[in-house]
């Protein structure tokens, strides 16, 4: 069920920019789908879109309010519910990528019914999956993997899709998280699938294709993250990638939300090959994507140079410098 | 919510003995909870309990009919529904370990309501979990791991619990699958948890404990199984075991339900240590459990001897020869 555009992005009272990464992702990749943002007092995030209330947004043509923020507990606080109800009353549909279903909130369900509006829970899928089979499928696949969560796996995959298409390749971004699903208008939030079906859902998401077709698959978590490595491994096995790109954020000192040191890029390359070999013996690394947003340009360039020297692989910041060298390597390896 | 005993075990038309492994597991470990079995024409499984119909079972005191069989699709075929409704009409509660909820079957839900009976879906939990944190918890933990699915991880864990308790140790079996939950009357079917919460559910299942307490945790799947390795890894990270035992079935030629070769026992030891080190740097292997049910006794003994020589670890068949040597090693390592 496609979500009707354009969007009003709800940022709530996001405590920092990263909490609103769903909204930011949509603006960065689908700016023309968005008419504005709505923020509550104390909001520390800003997409740069005009601040609107729900009536102003409707007047500018908005059709759906997208919850573009997560709160720490993963659930919807009561003061967000007021805004969601107001949006429904104003005639907007509402879309959310949280684990909690919008329709499980009685006031939201009632307002949607009363006003004939649709609720979209993009993290939940009614799709039934089979368990993974591990059988090699035709077509090519690239997976982005990471030293941590939130290091740029989705942006790297989207940038690779764009660059590959610009070169006339048959490439398609495959979304595996709620923000990616909102950007691609399809996909599976793989972290919300029942555990038995992680690799099966990945197989469903990236089916058999033409020999020259590339699925560019958004990675999740990290094989070294103690909260989410199971999701990462199941996705790796189901995706059976021919190629992978390691994503990294060089200023981070511990893994996101846990007190664990980051693995090195080499650790991630080695372990991805060791584990990925199970369903694709020819898996190989074709590049490194480093998110240098926190660094001035000279430091950014020095960081990329150092990684390039250390790993003998193409290295870039996909947002700052593009992914051309990585696509060059991909084509050299698989032509 | 505890399931009322004793049980009538429903074997349906199980195509082979392994399809009824839930029923077999309950009989092997909780014989005194069972009054009989009910089988449909064509059933190839047999627990050895008397064959009863639902009225006879009620007359012998049965309180709950347990679905002790899985069918290939994982759902409930229509001709099972007739028997489930008949059980409810006769005054029995019904318990199931399938992914599909009993209450989602309209005829079953209606019969339960009409006759005031309870439906138990042991694979589903209404428990909300947090994401895993990876923080070291006090208390000791042992996890059984495997070269494949269905090789004896649950039986090994139950045998270890029994042997450890017989020696006066404070040990508790922690169930992670539907059969284990039915045997222990508690636990979490970890393969039915939402993927984001696999390690978090494992942390919840085996909380901080006294320094000398041992949780003996039922393993799931295999790090080398392309369908389920994500579940296995999330469980390993959440369980943060101090010790593990590798379980193996020596006559199997491919992994269960997929066309993949089995890993070696050494592969499993090495990869369990490599991955488990993330949340417990001191993880170590304390033994090997080989399921020799398919072998005559002389071959069984030869198989154990060969593994003992190859790995310099205690090796036994927990059902045939007990787990004393493995507990000896455990105590030597952690005293």
Distance CA B20, CA B141 (A): 29
- The answer on B250 and B109 residing in a single domain is no
Position of tokens 């509402």? Answer: A94
Residues in A touching B260 (Cβ below 8 Å)? 134, 278
Distance CA A222, CA A267 (A): 11
- The answer on B216 and B114 residing in a single domain is no
Interchain pair A224, B278: CB under 8 A = yes
- The answer on B195 and B164 residing in a single domain is yes
Residues in A touching B194 (Cβ below 8 Å)? 99, 191-195
- The answer on B96 and B145 residing in a single domain is no
Q: Is A100 on the interface with B (CB under 8 A)?
A: no
Please report, for the domain that includes residue A60, its CATH number: 3.40.50.720
CA distance A150 to chain B (A): 15
Residue A70's pLDDT is: 83
Distance CA B146, CA B177 (A): 14
Interchain pair A227, B259: CB under 8 A = no
Q: Is A50 on the interface with B (CB under 8 A)?
A: no
- The answer on B294 and B185 residing in a single domain is yes
User: A274: exposed, middle or buried (C-beta count within 10 Å: 0-12, 13-18, 19+)?
Assistant: middle
Q: Is B191 on the interface with A (CB under 8 A)?
A: yes
Distance CA B132, CA B25 (A): 30
- The structural domain count of chain A equals 2
Distance CA B156, CA B1 (A): 27
**In the listed set B87, B121, B155, which residue is the last one of a domain according to the structure?**
B121
Q: Is A86 on the interface with B (CB under 8 A)?
A: no
Instruction: Decide if B74 is inside a domain.
Output: yes
Region of poorest pLDDT, from A68-77, A142-151, B153-162, B230-239 = A68-77
Instruction: Decide if A88 is inside a domain.
Output: yes
- The answer on A48 and A193 residing in a single domain is no
pLDDT higher than 80, residue B71: no
Name residue A248's beta-bridge partners.
A290
**Range of the structural domain that residue B108 is part of:** 7-121
Interchain pair A260, B237: CB under 8 A = no
Write the pLDDT tens digit of every residue in B86-140. 999 999 999 998 888 999 999 999 999 999 999 999 988 778 899 999 999 999 9
Residue B125's pLDDT is: 78
**For an interface test with B, which of A126, A135, A226 has the most B Cβ atoms less than 10 Å from its Cβ?**
A226
Q: State which residues of chain A have pLDDT below 70.
A: 1, 72-74
Residues in B touching A231 (Cβ below 8 Å)? 195-196, 198, 230, 234
Which chain A residue is nearest to residue B202, measuring alpha carbons? A227
For the record, the structure tokens of B135 come out as 């923080």
Backbone dihedral angles phi then psi of residue A134, each to the nearest 5 degrees: 75, 5
Backbone dihedral angles phi then psi of residue A111, each to the nearest 5 degrees: -65, -40
Size of interface A-B (CB pairs under 8 A): 124
Of A134, A230, A274, the CB nearest to B230: A230
Task: Count how many residues are written for chain A.
Answer: 335
Q: Which residue has the higher pLDDT, B257 or A63?
A: A63
pLDDT higher than 90, residue B2: no
Interchain pair B227, A132: CB under 8 A = yes
Please report, for the domain that includes residue B324, its CATH number: 3.40.50.300
- The answer on A109 and A221 residing in a single domain is no
pLDDT higher than 80, residue B75: no
Write the pLDDT tens digit of every residue in B283-330. 999 999 999 999 999 999 999 999 999 999 999 999 999 999 999 999
Helix (H, G, I), strand (E, B) or coil at B311: helix
Helix (H, G, I), strand (E, B) or coil at A315: strand
Residue B218's pLDDT is: 98
Instruction: Decide if A70 is inside a domain.
Output: yes
For the record, the structure tokens of A194 come out as 């029942």
Residue B78's pLDDT is: 87
Backbone dihedral angles phi then psi of residue A198, each to the nearest 5 degrees: -60, -55
Q: Is B239 on the interface with A (CB under 8 A)?
A: no
CA distance B115 to chain A (A): 29
Concatenated DSSP letters of B71-97: -TTSS--HHHHHHHHHHHHTT-EEEE-
- The answer on B226 and B107 residing in a single domain is no
Which strand ranges, in their side-by-side order, compose the sheet holding B214-217?
B171-174, B214-217, B140-146, B243-248, B284-290, B315-316
CA atoms within 13 A on the CB side of B52: 24
Instruction: Decide if B186 is inside a domain.
Output: yes
Interchain pair B194, A194: CB under 8 A = yes
Name residue A67's beta-bridge partners.
A10
Q: Is B16 on the interface with A (CB under 8 A)?
A: no
Interchain pair B234, A193: CB under 8 A = no
Instruction: Decide if A255 is inside a domain.
Output: yes
Write the pLDDT tens digit of every residue in A20-45. 999 999 999 999 999 999 999 999 99
- The answer on B67 and B216 residing in a single domain is no
Q: Is A124 on the interface with B (CB under 8 A)?
A: no
Residue B72's pLDDT is: 63
- The answer on A287 and A144 residing in a single domain is yes
Residue A74's pLDDT is: 64
Quote the radius of gyration of chain A (alpha carbons, Å). Answer: 20
pLDDT higher than 90, residue B76: no
Q: Is A72 on the interface with B (CB under 8 A)?
A: no
Residue A76's pLDDT is: 81
Residue B195 near residue B232 (C-beta atoms within 8 A) = no
Percent residues over pLDDT 90 in chain B = 91
Interchain pair A231, B230: CB under 8 A = yes
Interchain pair A131, B228: CB under 8 A = yes
Q: Is B327 on the interface with A (CB under 8 A)?
A: no
Residue B291 near residue B251 (C-beta atoms within 8 A) = no
CA atoms within 13 A on the CB side of A117: 27
Distance CA B268, CA B43 (A): 35
Interchain pair A193, B194: CB under 8 A = yes
Which strand ranges, in their side-by-side order, compose the sheet holding A315-316?
A171-174, A214-217, A140-146, A243-248, A284-290, A315-316
Residue B213 near residue B334 (C-beta atoms within 8 A) = no
Query: Which stretches of B138-177 are DSSP H helices?
Result: 153-166
Interchain pair B132, A198: CB under 8 A = no
Write the pLDDT tens digit of every residue in B27-45. 999 999 999 999 999 999 9
Instruction: Decide if B131 is inside a domain.
Output: no
Instruction: Decide if A135 is inside a domain.
Output: no
Residue B35's pLDDT is: 98
Interchain pair B260, A199: CB under 8 A = no
Instruction: Decide if A133 is inside a domain.
Output: no
Predicted interface score ipTM higher than 0.85: yes
- The answer on B189 and B154 residing in a single domain is yes
CA distance B69 to chain A (A): 18
Of A192, A224, A258, the CB nearest to B196: A192
**In the listed set B74, B90, B121, which residue is the last one of a domain according to the structure?**
B121
Residue B98's pLDDT is: 86
Q: Is A99 on the interface with B (CB under 8 A)?
A: yes
Helix (H, G, I), strand (E, B) or coil at B57: helix
Position of tokens 């993997």? Answer: A145
- The answer on B116 and B13 residing in a single domain is yes
């Amino acid at each position: 069920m496609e979500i009707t555009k354009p969007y009003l992005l709800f940022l709530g009272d996001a405590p920092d920019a990263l909490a609103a990464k769903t909204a930011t992702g949509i603006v960065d990749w689908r700016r023309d789908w968005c008419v504005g943002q709505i923020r509550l007092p104390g909001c520390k995030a800003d997409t740069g879109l005009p601040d609107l209330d729900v009536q102003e947004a409707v007047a500018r043509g908005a059709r759906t309010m997208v919850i573009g923020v997560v709160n720490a507990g993963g659930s919807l606080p009561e003061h967000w519910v007021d805004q969601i109800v107001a949006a429904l009353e104003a005639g907007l549909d509402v879309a959310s990528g949280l684990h909690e279903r919008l329709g499980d909130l009685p006031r939201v369900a009632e307002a949607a019914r009363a006003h004939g509006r649709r609720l979209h829970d993009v993290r939940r899928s009614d799709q039934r999956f089979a368990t993974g089979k591990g059988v090699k499928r035709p077509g090519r696949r690239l997976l982005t993997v990471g030293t941590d969560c939130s290091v740029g796996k989705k942006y790297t995959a989207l940038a690779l899709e764009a660059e590959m298409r610009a070169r006339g390749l048959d490439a398609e971004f495959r979304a595996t998280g709620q923000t990616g699903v909102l950007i691609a208008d399809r996909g599976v939030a793989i972290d919300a699938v029942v555990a038995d079906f992680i690799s099966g859902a990945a197989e469903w998401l990236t089916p058999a294709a033409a020999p020259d077709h590339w699925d560019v698959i958004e990675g999740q978590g990290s094989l070294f993250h103690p909260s989410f490595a199971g999701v990462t491994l199941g996705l790796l096995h189901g995706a059976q990638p021919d190629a992978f790109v390691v994503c990294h954020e060089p200023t981070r000192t511990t893994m996101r939300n846990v007190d664990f040191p980051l693995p090195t890029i080499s650790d991630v390359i080695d372990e991805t090959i060791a584990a990925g070999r199970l369903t694709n013996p020819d898996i190989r690394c074709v590049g490194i994507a480093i998110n240098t947003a926190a660094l001035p340009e000279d430091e950014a360039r020095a960081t990329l140079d150092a990684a390039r020297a250390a790993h003998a692989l193409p290295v870039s910041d996909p947002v700052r410098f593009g992914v051309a060298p990585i696509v060059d390597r991909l084509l050299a390896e698989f032509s």
